[in-house]
Amino acid sequence: MSVHILNQYMALVIFLRLKMFKTIKSRMIIMQTITIFFILGILFVLFSAFAEDYYFSRKIGVIKQSFSTLQKEDISTLTYKNRYIISYEEQKLRFVIANEKFEPIYVTLKTKNFKSMTQNANAKAKVENNIVSRLYRFSEKEIVTNNGVGKISGRGIITQNGNKYYLYVYELKSNMKIHLSYYKLFFGIMLILVAVVGVIVSVVISNRICKPIRQIEENTKLAVKNNFELNINENQEFVELSSLAHSINIMLSKIREQITELENEIENKTKVENLRKQFVNNVSHEMKTPLAIISSQVEMLELLQDKQKKKEYCQSIIEETENMSQMINDMIVIYSMQSAEEELMVVSADINELVEFTCRDYDKLFFTKNISLHESYTEKCMAEVNERFFTQAVSNYITNAIKHCKEEGNVYVRVMSGENNIKVEVENDGKHIPEENIENIWNMFYQGNDSATLNGQKGSGLGLYLVKSIVELHHGKYGCENVENGVVFYIELPKVQKNN
Domain edges within the chain: 1-225, 344-500
Cβ contact 290:323 at 8 Å: yes
Mean pLDDT, residues 248-276 taken together = 80
* H/E segment holding residue 458: none
What is the spatial distance between Cα 298 and Cα 321, in angstroms, rounded to a whole number? 12
Has residue 5 got a pLDDT over 70?
Answer: no
Question: By mean pLDDT, which of 148-157, 329-338, 380-389, 402-411 is the weakest?
Answer: 329-338
pLDDT at 57 over 50: yes
Which range of 88-97, 249-258, 300-309, 347-356 scores highest in mean pLDDT? It is 347-356
| pLDDT on residue 17 | 52
Judge whether residue 4 has pLDDT over 70: no
* Parallel/antiparallel/unpaired status of strands 151-160 and 163-172: antiparallel
Q: What is the pLDDT of residue 374?
A: 94
Higher pLDDT, 234 or 103: 103
Instruction: Give the residue with greater pLDDT, 45 vs 479.
Output: 479
Instruction: Tell me the pLDDT band of 335, cut-offs 50, 70 and 90.
Output: low
Higher pLDDT among residues 401 and 151, named by residue: 401
Model confidence at 151, pLDDT cuts 50, 70, 90, reads: confident
Quick check: 340 pLDDT over 60? Answer: no
Q: Rounded to whole angstroms, what are the CA distances from 108 to 67, 133, 220? A: 15, 18, 80
Q: What is the pLDDT of residue 22?
A: 58
**Higher-confidence residue: 115 or 314?**
314
DSSP-assigned letter for residue 499: P
Position 412 pLDDT exceeds 90:
yes
Strand partners, 413: 375, 426
Edge-to-edge, what's the strand order for the sheet holding 421-429? Answer: 372-376, 410-417, 421-429, 486-494, 477-482
**46, 49, 193, 194, 378 from 40: Cα distances, Å:** 10, 14, 11, 8, 92
Residue 442, φ and ψ in degrees, nearest 5: -90, -5
> Does 37 or 450 have the greater pLDDT score?
37
Q: Is 257 exposed, middle or buried (0-12, 13-18, 19+ CB in 10 A)?
A: exposed
Rounded Cα–Cα distance for residues 394 and 467 (Å): 8
Categorize the per-residue pLDDT at 397 as very low, low, confident or very high, splitting at 50, 70 and 90: very high
pLDDT over threshold 80, residue 420: yes
pLDDT, one tens digit per residue, over 431-473 is 999 988 888 888 876 766 554 444 444 555 678 888 898 898 8
Determine contact, residues 139/159, Cβ cutoff 8 Å: no
Pairing of the two strands 151-160 and 347-350:
unpaired
Model pTM score: 0.45
CA–CA gap between residue 387 and residue 416 (Å, rounded)? 18
State the chain's mean pLDDT as an integer.
Answer: 78
How far is residue 494's CA from residue 171's CA, in Å, rounded to a whole number? Answer: 106
The CATH superfamily holding the domain 344-500 is Histidine kinase-like ATPase, C-terminal domain (3.30.565.10)
Give the mean model confidence (pLDDT) for residues 179-187.
72
Its sign, for the CA torsion 462, 465, 467, 472, is negative
The mean pLDDT of 40-63, rounded to a whole number, is: 78
Q: Please, which residues have CB within 8 angstroms of residue 122's CB and are 6 or more apart in sequence?
A: 107, 109
pLDDT of residue 350 exceeding 50, the answer is yes
User: Residue 464: exposed, middle, or buried by beta-carbon count in 10 A (0-12, 13-18, 19+)?
Assistant: buried
Percent pLDDT > 90 in the chain is 14
Distances from the Cα of 413 to the Cα of 37, 197, 252, 408, 445, angstroms: 94, 91, 52, 16, 25
pLDDT at position 428: 94
Would you say 490 and 480 are in contact if contact means Cβ atoms under 8 Å apart?
yes
